[in-house]
């Protein structure tokens, strides 16, 4: 067998610990599959003294994480620290600059700096790999880069955040409180160090922008993703959705069209007979529609130590085998800068929820705003006295341009009848 692939590992938290445990547990199998052993030679994290349940004494400890880029004897650096900038980015730049391969699970960094890093990797003739950055353990980057490489992809969408899906499906099945389920997701190691990235849709948007780049051959364009999360969702929205035959899921969706690339992360009502309605807990799922292969569905664990480590180590196996192509599935020079498509002309059905004061004329005011904007109402439910004596009004619209729905909501902005902001969810067809 050839020389081992020697790894310098930055970050020993949920994912870093998982990588060490996985390399220990499947050492021989991995060596047979990779054609050579994969060995961690040096590690670095913030707190040397912390008990991580793994024996670190066999590795060199490096206090300055960014120095791992030049760690003597290391062939590849694995970054599992997190953060779009800071030490993670310094480490990425200096590792690739030193002509070494780089593996990361850091979607924030790849979404913001992936193009620059891919250029550096290509220039140095080394690998930049980030399978774990999108949908945790699901090999969706590999699936699109390799398995579906012959296809033109029209649309890619799915459940890209395990924390949100864990919260939504727990609220749905057990009627549990948002904050309580979020705390459990944090304890299980699914959530980001700043969980607002999860619940406000930013983490899913990071992943979507990477996925879109790989699927459509475009430069990652995180700033073009329209983002809203699940922070303002009520248990009542989940109950109304269920009564109407839907489940609520936070979806990321990217679509290539004549007017450019449309990218959005938004809570959706998913019909109960759609496969995404049955993706529960911290699972993720991605649907990609190719012009020859048809509809592909990738599903599996989107977060957690084991699944994410599985994706990181798969990247290491590829590097050990000498198999690595362009990070975004085509050379950087071929990635196009797609214009941002306008959502206004998109047509669809919508769920709109208003919390309103319980007084005469409120329903008429909402209905008038819909009529004036040309939005036709398919169904309307009013539920009396929630929490502070206000009333919940949930509307499902007929198919309408999004611009018209936005106009109706704009008309209602500042209305004395409304308590708080309306909730708008798209209905997946
Ligand atoms: N936890 C999960 O399920 C998943 C996480 N990821 C990504 O993997 C990366 C790591 O995530 P986790 O393991 O969950 O994080 P974590 O918070 O559990 O671990 C982070 C590790 O990095 C170290 N670290 C943080 N700042 C540092 C600094 N300035 N210098 C040196 N070391 C530092 C910490 O000491 C810790 O060992 C992140 O980019 C995250 O977005 C990706 C997919 C799933
Ligand atoms: N916080 C992320 C972790 C994996 O990417 C999530 O919940 O999906």
pLDDT for 29-38, tens place per residue? 999 999 999 9
Spatial distance between the Cα atoms of 163 and 302, rounded to a whole number of angstroms? 9
Closest by alpha carbon to 260, among 332, 343, 202, 141? 343
Task: Give the distance (Å) from ligand 2 centre to CA of residue 71.
Answer: 29
Q: Distance from CA of residue 362 to its chain's centroid?
A: 38
> Is it the case that residue 58 has pLDDT exceeding 90?
yes
**Confidence band, pLDDT 50/70/90 cuts, at residue 374:** very high
Q: Is 163 exposed, middle or buried (0-12, 13-18, 19+ CB in 10 A)?
A: buried
Residue 52: exposed, middle, or buried by beta-carbon count in 10 A (0-12, 13-18, 19+)?
middle
Instruction: Give tens-digit pLDDT for 215-268.
Output: 999 999 999 999 999 999 999 999 999 999 999 999 999 999 999 999 999 999
pLDDT bucket at 176, cuts 50 / 70 / 90: confident
Pairing of strands 347-348, 350-356: unpaired
Q: Give the model confidence (pLDDT) of 69-123 as tens digits.
A: 999 999 999 999 999 999 999 999 999 999 999 999 999 999 999 999 999 999 9
Segment holding 305, helix H or strand E: helix 305-321
Q: Considering only CA atoms, which residue is closest to atom 29 of ligand 1?
A: 87
Report d(CA 88, CA 66) in Å as an integer.
8
Q: Nearest CA to 377 among 362, 353, 393, 397?
A: 397
**75 alpha carbon – ligand 2 mean position (Å):** 28
Element (H, E) at 284: strand 283-290
Cα–Cα distance for residue pair 238/228, rounded to 1 Å? 17
Question: Which pLDDT value is given to residue 1?
Answer: 65
Residue 410 has φ and ψ, to the nearest 5°, of -65, -40
Which residue out of 163, 181, 185 has the highest number of ligand 2 atoms within 8 Å of its CB and is therefore the one to mutate? 163
Residues 345 and 139: beta-carbon distance below 8 Å: no
Across the chain, what does the average pLDDT equal?
A: 96
pLDDT at 38: 98
d(CA 198, CA 204): 7
Q: Which band of pLDDT confidence, cut at 50, 70 and 90, is reported for residue 344?
A: confident
Q: Are 80 and 11 in contact (CB under 8 A)?
A: yes
Sorting pLDDT into bands at 50, 70 and 90, what band is 358? Answer: confident
Active site residue ranges = 207
Query: What tokens does 218 get?
Result: 């475009």
At 423, which helix (H) or strand (E)?
strand 423-427
Q: Give the span between the Cα atoms of 192 and 201, in whole angstroms.
A: 12
Ligand 2 centroid distance, CA of 165 (Å): 10
Query: Using an 8 Å Cβ cutoff, are 9 and 19 in contact?
Result: yes
Residues of the chain with pLDDT > 90, as a percent, come to 92
- Reading the block at residue 158, the tokens are 């799915």
**Which residue out of 17, 46, 204 has the highest number of ligand 1 atoms within 8 Å of its CB and is therefore the one to mutate?**
46
Regarding the beta carbon of 128 and ligand 2, being less than 6 Å apart is answered no
Q: DSSP E strands: which ranges in 12-166? A: 38-44, 60-61, 76-79, 101-104, 128-129, 153-159
Asked whether the whole model's pTM tops 0.95, one would answer yes
Return the ligand 1 atom nearest residue 82 CA. 39
């Amino acid at each position: 067998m050839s020389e081992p692939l020697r790894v310098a590992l930055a970050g020993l938290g949920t994912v870093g610990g998982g990588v060490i445990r996985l390399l220990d547990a499947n050492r021989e199998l991995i060596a047979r599959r990779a054609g050579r052993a994969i060995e961690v030679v040096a590690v670095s994290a913030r707190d040397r003294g912390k008990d991580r349940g793994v024996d670190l004494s066999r590795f060199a400890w490096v206090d300055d994480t960014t120095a791992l880029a030049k760690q003597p004897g290391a062939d590849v650096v694995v970054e599992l620290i997190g953060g779009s900038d800071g030490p993670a980015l310094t480490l990425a730049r200096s590792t690739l600059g030193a002509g070494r391969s780089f593996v990361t699970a850091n979607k924030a960094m790849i979404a913001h700096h992936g193009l620059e890093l891919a250029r550096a990797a290509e220039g140095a003739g080394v690998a930049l790999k980030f399978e774990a950055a999108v949908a945790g353990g699901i090999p969706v980057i590999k699936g699109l880069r390799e398995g579906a490489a012959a296809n033109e992809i029209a649309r890619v969408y799915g459940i890209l955040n395990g924390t949100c899906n864990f919260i939504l499906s727990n609220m749905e099945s057990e009627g549990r409180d948002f904050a309580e389920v979020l705390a459990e997701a944090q304890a299980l190691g699914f959530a980001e160090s700043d969980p607002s990235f999860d619940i406000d849709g930013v983490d899913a948007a990071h992943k979507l922008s990477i996925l879109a780049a790989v699927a459509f051959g475009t430069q990652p364009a995180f700033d073009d993703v329209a983002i809203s999360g699940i922070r303002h969702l009520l248990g009542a929205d989940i109950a109304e959705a269920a009564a109407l035959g839907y489940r609520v899921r936070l979806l990321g969706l990217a679509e290539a069209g004549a007017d450019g690339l449309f990218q959005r992360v938004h809570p959706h009502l998913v019909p109960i007979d759609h496969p995404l309605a049955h993706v529960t807990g911290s699972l993720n799922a991605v649907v990609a529609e190719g012009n020859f292969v048809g509809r592909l569905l990738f599903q599996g664990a989107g977060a957690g130590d084991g699944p994410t480590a599985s994706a990181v180590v798969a990247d290491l196996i590829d590097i050990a085998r000498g198999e690595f192509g362009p990070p975004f599935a085509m050379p950087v020079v071929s990635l196009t800068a797609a214009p941002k498509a306008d959502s206004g002309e998109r047509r669809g059905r919508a769920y709109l929820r208003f919390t309103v004061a319980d007084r005469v004329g409120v329903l008429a005011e909402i209905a008038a705003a819909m009529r004036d904007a040309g939005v036709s109402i398919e169904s309307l439910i009013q539920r009396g006295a929630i929490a502070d004596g206000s009333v919940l009004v949930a509307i499902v619209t007929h198919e309408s341009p999004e611009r018209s729905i936005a106009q109706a909501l704009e008309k209602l902005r500042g209305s004395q009848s409304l308590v708080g902001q309306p909730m708008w969810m798209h209905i997946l067809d």
